[in-house]
Structure 1
Amino acid sequence: MKLAINGFGRIGRAILRQILTTPRGDGIEVVRINDIAPLDMCAYLFQYDSTFGPFPHPVDHGDNALRVLGRTIAMSHEPDLTNVNLSSVDVVLECTGIARTSDVAERGISAGARKVLISGPSPAAEITVVLGANQERLNGARIVSNASCTTNALAPLVRLIDEIAGIDSAHMTTIHCYTNSQPMVDAPRGDFARSRGGALSMVPTTTSATHLIDEVLPHLKGRISGAALRVPTASVSAVDLIVRVNQPVQEPELMQALQSGVAASDVLGWTDQPLVSSDLRARPESLVIAGPETRLVGDRQMRVFGWYDNEWGFSARMLDVARHMAAN
Structure 2
Amino acid sequence: MRIVIHGFGRIGRVILRQILTSKAHADIDVVAVNDLAQPDTCAYLFKYDSVFGPLPGGVTLQGGALQAGGRSIPLLTGVKITDLPLADVDLLLDCTGATKDRATAEAALTAGARAVLISGPSDIADMTIVKGANDNQIDDHRIVSNASCTTNALAPLLRELDTRFGLIQGHMTTIHCYTGSQPMVDAPRGPDLARNRAGAVSMVPTTTSAAKLIDRVLPDLAGRVTGAAVRVPAISVSAVDLVVRLTTPPKDPANALRELAEANPVIGLVEDPCVSVDLRARTESLVIAPNETMETGDQIRIFGWYDNEWGFSARMLDVARMMHQRGT
Residue pair 2:116, 2:142 contacting (<8 A) in 1 also:
yes
Aligned to 1:98: 98
- In 2: Cα distance, 1:10 partner to 1:66 partner: 17
Q: C-alpha distance in 1, partners of 2:85/2:15?
A: 21
Query: 2:243 aligns to what?
Result: 242
Corresponding letter in the other structure for 1:268: I
Aligned to 1:320: 318
Q: Which amino acid aligns with 2:280?
A: R
What's the RMSD between the two structures over aligned residues?
1.1
SS at match of 1:106: helix
Kindly provide the amino acid, as one letter, of the partner of residue 88 in structure 2: S
Distance 1:144 1:65 in 2: 28
Code of the aligned partner of 1:206: T
After superposition, residues 1-328 of structure 1 pair within 5 angstroms as 1-190=1-190, 191-250=192-251, 252=252, 254-298=253-297, 300-328=298-326
> Which whole-Å deviations, capped at 9, do the CAs of 1:114-143 have from their partners, x for residues lacking one?
000000001110000000000011011100
Task: Give the TM-score normalised by structure 1.
Answer: 0.97
- 1:176, 1:228 within 8 Å by CA — same for their partners in 2? yes
The percent of aligned pairs where both chains have the same amino acid is 58
Query: Quick check: 1:126–1:141 contact (8 Å CA) kept in 2?
Result: yes
In 2, Cα distance between equivalents of 1:282 and 1:9: 17
Whole-Å separation in 1 of the counterparts to 2:23 and 2:301? 34
Give, in angstroms, the shift of residue 79 of structure 1.
Answer: 4.4
> What amino acid does structure 2 have at the position aligned with 1:256?
N
Q: TM-score, normalised by structure 2?
A: 0.97
How far apart, in 1, do the equivalents of 2:38 and 2:148 lie? 28
Deviation at 1:21, TM superposition (A): 0.5
Which secondary structure state, in structure 2, belongs to the residue aligned with residue 247 of structure 1?
A: coil
User: CA–CA distance in 2 between the matches of 1:123 and 1:60?
Assistant: 38
For residues 104 and 233 of structure 2, what CA distance do their matches in structure 1 show? 33
Q: Deviations over 1:243-262 (max 9, x none)?
A: 01112432x2x333322221
How far apart are 1:301 and its partner, in Å?
A: 1.3
Q: Which runs of 5+ in 1 are unaligned?
A: none
Structure 1 distance, partners of 2:106, 2:237, is 31
Q: Distance in 2 between matches of 1:107 and 1:120?
A: 19
Superposed CA deviations along residues 52-98 of structure 1, whole A, max 9, x for unmatched, are 11111121112221111221111211342111221121011100001
How many corresponding residue pairs? 325
2:105 and 2:127 map into 1 onto residues whose CA distance is 12
**One-letter identity of the residue aligned with 2:308:** N
Query: Mean Cα displacement is larger for which, 11-20 or 69-78?
Result: 69-78
Structure 1 residue 111: deviation in Å? 2.1
**Matched residue type, 1:14:** V
Q: Does the CA contact (< 8 Å) of 2:32 and 2:85 recur in 1?
A: no
Task: Point out the more displaced range, 3-12 or 18-27.
Answer: 18-27
Query: Which has the larger displacement, 264-273 or 218-227?
Result: 264-273
